[in-house]
Each structure stands twice: as C-alpha cells, then as structure tokens.
Amino acid sequence: MSVSEVAGPGGRVLSVDAYRGFVMLAMASAGLALGQAARLHPGSAVWQALRSHTDHVAWRGCSSWDLIQPSFMFLVGVAMPFSYAGRAVRGVGHAEQVRHALVRSAVLVLLGVFLASAWGRQTNWAFTNVLAQIGLGYPFVFLLLGRPARDQLGAAAAILVGYWLLFALHPLPGTDFPYRDRGASPGADGLTGFLAHWARNANAASAFDRWFLNLFPRPAGSPFRFSEGGYATLNFVPSAATMLAGVLAGERLRSGAGPWTKVRDLVLAGAACLALGLALDQTACPIVKRIWTPSWAVYSAGWACLLLALFYGLIDVAGYRRWAFPLTVVGVNSIAFYMMSQLMKPFVAGQLQIHLGPAIFRGPYGPTVRAGSVLLVFWLIAFGMYRRKIFNGPRKG
C-alpha cells in the first residue's frame, strides 16, 4: 500500500510507484468517457475497441479495464516485503508489526464501508469495494510474509483449490430457484452445465451474502437479495492469492539476483499464469472477475507480473525514469487519490463549470473533456502533496 521503500542493494524500486500511479490514474479516469464517445463512431473498429476496453466485461472474460483492481491488489503484495522489512530495520518488533497490520486492515475495511455509504441515508455494510477487499485479506497475507516461497505458493494454491470446491460443491439452482428475485436468469452469461456453478447471483458466494449481509442493519423492509453487478464479499478470499502473487514478486525484486534476471523471471511467471488461467477457464471454472474465480486470480496475476516486468525493466533497469514522474506523483499517494476520485468528482466538475463557464463540458465530447479536466485537478492536488512530502505511508530511501 505504501510506497515501496528500499529495494536492497539497488535502492528504491521506482517502477512500483509508477505502476501503482498508472493503475490509480486509470481507475480515477472512468475511461475518460471514451465509451460514450465511441457511440458517435459506430462503424470505427478503433473506437469500438476503446469502448470495450474502458469498461468491465458483462461476466465471463477480460478487458483491459478489468485488470485495474487485480493490479492494485497485486501491488499491495509487492510493497509489503519492502514495507515490513524497512520497519524491522528501524527496530520495530514483531508484536508492533502485527498491530500495524491489524490496524491497517481495519482502517481499509472501514474506508470501504464509508465509500459504499457515501451517498446513502445510513451505513451500507457492503464489503466489495477494493479497499474493503484488501483490508479483509491483508492480515492473512501478512502472516505469510518472510515465509519460504514454497509456503506462499502452497497457501495460494490451497486458497484457490478450496474456493473452487466451495463453488463446485454448491448445489445448482433447482426448478424452483427464484431467479427474478435474485437478479439472475437460467443460462445467463453462457454458463451452463457444470460451469453454471459460477453463474451470476446463483452461486455459493451470493448465497453467503444473502445470509451474511442481512446480519447487519438494513433499511426497513429492504433485506439484501443480490448484488446488481454480481460482486461478492467472499471475493477477498481468492484475491488474497492475488496479493500473495504480489508478495512473491516483491520478494524477487528484493533479492540479490541481477536486474535483467528479475525481469526474465517476472515475464516467465506472467506467461505461465496466463497459460494456466486460460487452461482453467476451459476446463475447471470460467474467468470471471466479479466473483474472482480461481482461473481469474491466476490469469490476472499473469498480466500483473508482465506489467510489473515492463515498468521495472524500463524504469529501474534501463533507467528511463523521467516519463514516469507523473505516474509516481500519484503512486506515492494512491489511497488519497482513490478517495478523491470516489468522493469529489461531482464537486470538482461543478467548480470547473462555475469558473470556466457552463459550456465547457457541452458538445459530443463533453463527457471526455469533463473526465480529463477532473483528473487533471486531482493530479495537481497529488503533485502539491508530493512537493510537500505528504505521503500515504512511511517513506524511506
């Protein structure tokens, strides 16, 4: 979560900050509203490709936009070995490290609930926000820090196999299943036969939420029935494996191996995960981000490894650093940037219209101008924080 601190003999791994900044800018940009602009060009293959890759897939499959959240969670794992090793060097004991991890976990979960409740009339006890998901899995990942790689790999495999079994053994909907009441329909999203165990709102995780979320206070006469997007609280379980993949990558970056050897290893790991994820999609369970299927956890970790290899190779190994400065400014204050993007977009857009004129966001490309302008304001705020050395977490090096 915090900026990567010291990377052994080589100093800071600036690429981790830059990659995180890239992810946060993408997340906050809302795709620059290119999906809306693409509607003006129905016959253009380029515009339609932009449209498909600046939005989530409906259920099964993957677009570029779907890789934002797993990249963020992967980078949490990458930073953890640096962060906690740095604290150990400063003399922070194990008990204090545990306390820090638990406090961070609680804060992230509560921030996620806060964001889910921001526009409601009462607390919305929902845990599918990325911050809440990270917070729920964080203590478990912390417990595996410093363990041998085989233990971390074994834990990730056990998580994914166990989660697969949870879905595979859950009964398929019977003829009396209340599809309409669950926001589902038989055979939706093309998942039939055995793959129907991972159908939208008719799976083990959605059944868990119909029990779990109704334990919390809810508006009178409004029990939780289903998630509109099919997202589930239990996603934090397999996404812990995503963070563990990041921990393994972070440990590799901290190792004494040669820089290009690290790049090679990240590329090989990424390619292997992509191949395994695709194979699982065709045989064991579909690639579905919204319920973080095991195949998705493996497949998305593959892309995250390849992107980290690209950023690390360009910035820290080849030394091309200047271009990454705008990304680093955001990467060192990722949580603040995320909170701004979630809470302040309407306010900032309104202020821009007040001071620059109500027509600034009109016209066919008005939504794109609006998204870009608001993003620029957020970046300038992050730049001000950067100049004043205000960061999300401890910084060293």
- Most confidently modeled of 29-43, 174-188, 322-336? 322-336
What integer pLDDT is reported at residue 52 of this predicted model? Answer: 84
In the chain, % of residues over pLDDT 70: 95
pLDDT cut 90: percent of the chain above it: 75
192, part of any domain = yes
pLDDT digits (tens, 9 = 90+) for 115-156: 999 988 899 999 999 999 999 999 999 999 999 999 999 999
Residues 6+ apart with CB under 8 A from 68: 23, 26, 27
Kindly write down the DSSP assignment for every residue of 334-389, as one continuous string: HHHHHHHHHHSHHHHHHHHHHHH-GGGG-STTHHHHHHHHHHHHHHHHHHHHHHTT
Q: Is residue 137 part of a domain?
A: yes
Does residue 189 lie within any of the structural domains?
Answer: yes
pLDDT at 211: 96
Residue for token digits 């200047």? 322
Instruction: Check: CB of residue 291 under 8 Å from CB of residue 230.
Output: yes
Closest CA to 247 of 94, 391, 132, 138: 138
Query: CA torsion sign, 249 to 250 to 251 to 256?
Result: positive
pLDDT band at 1 (very low <50, low <70, confident <90, very high): very low
- Whether the pLDDT of residue 83 is over 70: the answer is yes
Does 264 reside within a domain? yes
How does pLDDT run across 36-72, given as a tens digit for each residue? Answer: 888 888 888 888 888 888 889 999 999 999 999 999 9
Task: State how many domains the chain has.
Answer: 1
Cβ density class 106-138: b for 16+ within 10 Å, e for less: eebbebbbbbbeeeeeeebbbbbbbbbbbbbbb
Phi-psi region of 212 (alpha: psi -120 to 50; beta: other; left: phi over 0): alpha
State the Cα–Cα distance between residues 46 and 158, nearest whole angstrom.
41
Q: Is residue 38 part of a domain?
A: no
Q: Tell me how far CA of residue 107 lies from CA of 132, 176, 261, in angstroms.
A: 9, 42, 37
pTM of the model: 0.92
CA–CA dist 131, 126 (Å, integer): 11
Which residue, 77, 9, 16, 2, is CA-closest to 308?
Answer: 16
The pLDDT tens digits of the residues spanning 367-379 come to 999 999 999 999 9
Residue 60 phi/psi, 5-degree rounding, is -85, 140
pLDDT band at 12 (very low <50, low <70, confident <90, very high): low
Q: Specify whether the CB–CB gap between 376 and 29 falls below 8 A.
A: no
Local structure of residue 170 (DSSP, 8 states): S
Question: Within a 13 Å sphere around the CA of 269, how many CA atoms are in the beta-carbon half?
Answer: 22
Q: Write the CA distances from 134 to 1, 28, 153, 217, 296, integer angstroms.
A: 10, 18, 19, 23, 17
Do the domain assignments include residue 41?
Answer: no
Residue 360 included in any domain: no
DSSP string covering 183-194: T--TTGGG--GG
Mean pLDDT value across residues 255-265:
96
C-alpha closest to that of 26 among 61, 71, 60: 71
Instruction: State yes or no: pLDDT of 21 exceeds 70.
Output: yes
* Domain that residue 17 falls in: 8-31+69-320
Residue 319's CB: how many other CB atoms inside 10 A? 8
CB 372 within 8 A of CB 28: no
In a domain, 248, yes or no: yes
Residue 60 pairs in a beta bridge with 288
Q: Mean per-residue pLDDT for 377-391?
A: 92
Place of tokens 């690639």: 287
- From first CA to last CA, the distance across the chain in angstroms is 16
